[in-house]
Amino acid sequence: MSIFFAFVLHIFHLVYAVILKVRSLRKQLFASPPQQLLAPRRRIPKHLAIVFAVDPSVPVETAVETLTESVLNAVEWCRTIGIKKLTVYEEKDMLSKCTRTLYDNLPAQGQELDSGESEIDYPLTPPPSDHSESRPLSPNDAPENHVPVTRLHISERSSRKEMQNGQKPIRRRQQKPTESAHKSDLLLCMISAEASKPAIAAAARALARTESRRLRNSPPLEKREPYKLAVEELDRILEDESGLSSPDFMIIHPIDFSRSSSAPPELHGFPPWHIRLTEIFQNHPRDRSSQPWFSWRQPCTPIPLDEISFREALDEFASAEMRFGK
């Protein structure tokens, strides 16, 4: 009897998997095209995050080129529809290799290229002593821990920087032209895995050292209250509106040689503290160029984030039903 029920259960799962696959194929083949970029939507994210999942098999030069093109396109689209903040993430810090190219091809306001790691200059201090009750703060001891973020302020006031400096912008894949509109200012933040769990661990070490110093400096007979960590205190350390903050919407874009969409969504080490209320969209890149039906036999190349996928993600976010609770 147990064998019979196991067989029925396997048949049920098989039928369910076939139904899901048919629905997925039907959605891909007969889905209506996404709205235009400037079409009115019920909701637009104020802070957008894009996670680039680079496959290890992709050469570094190809990955950097694809990342650069994707970020340049995303910046243009965000400025067109009025998104105020864009955070781009790549786990292995390949974005650092794109920084100079992005700065040369984006209308950055002045010398706004900076990193959160270098904003505070700490004086040189001798090695800490185990018996020292008071000593200068070092980056590991300071509760005001800054998450490593590279920021680029993009402003309309310097939109002609390339023309004035005689710089030649890099070539991008041909995109469908959008309606002309005033482009808003944008804060571009670039982060890697160093802004994720290592930043949380550094914040925990700083809080532990601060509490240990407080206990050592308190009188022996004084009643000591147990330490309680508040969510607001950790927010103050890990989040910064001018740096890394919680995005409203996240797009996961894979950069690989595969065209299959069976892989489940992965965050690839994106800072977990900042996505408690974030809507997540998994993008499945498709080669939209006109190629023959047998082009699947040809070697695939990584596809940058394109406008159609970006608009599909915006439509998904606009139609999402958000319940934040009380």
| DSSP sequence for 197-229 | HHHHHHHHHHHHHHHHHHHHHS-TTSPPPPP--
By CB atoms closer than 10 A (0-12, 13-18, 19+), residue 72 is buried
- CB-CB contact of 63 with 94 (8 Å): yes
**Residues 172-207: pLDDT tens digits?**
554 554 444 568 889 999 999 988 888 888 888 888
**Of the candidates 31, 4, 20, 26, the residue with the CA atom closest to the CA atom of residue 315:** 31
Q: What pLDDT, on a 0 to 100 scale, did the predictor assign at position 26?
A: 76
Q: What is the edge-to-edge ordering of all strands in the sheet holding 85-90?
A: 114-115, 150-154, 186-191, 85-90, 47-54, 249-255, 279-282
Band of pLDDT at residue 245, cut at 50, 70 and 90? confident
SS3 130: coil
- Percent of the residues in the chain that have a pLDDT greater than 70, as a whole number: 71
What is the pLDDT averaged over residues 303-307?
A: 92
Ranges 27-31, 68-72, 302-306, most confident: 68-72
User: Has residue 151 got a pLDDT over 50?
Assistant: yes
**Residues 75-100: pLDDT tens digits?**
999 999 999 999 999 999 999 998 88
- Percent of the residues in the chain that have a pLDDT greater than 90, as a whole number: 28
Region of poorest pLDDT, from 61-65, 267-271, 302-306, 320-324? 320-324
Q: What pLDDT, on a 0 to 100 scale, did the predictor assign at position 4?
A: 84
What is the pLDDT averaged over residues 98-107?
A: 86
Band of pLDDT at residue 228, cut at 50, 70 and 90? confident
User: Has residue 165 got a pLDDT over 80?
Assistant: no
Q: What pLDDT, on a 0 to 100 scale, did the predictor assign at position 146?
A: 63
Phi, psi of 29 (to 5 degrees): -85, -35
What is the pLDDT averaged over residues 109-128?
A: 43
Q: Considering the chain, what is the average pLDDT of its residues?
A: 77
Which two three-digit tokens encode residue 322? Answer: 């958000």
User: Has residue 28 got a pLDDT over 80?
Assistant: no
User: Has residue 116 got a pLDDT over 70?
Assistant: no
Q: Does the global pTM surpass 0.85? A: no
Region of poorest pLDDT, from 87-91, 103-107, 120-124? 120-124
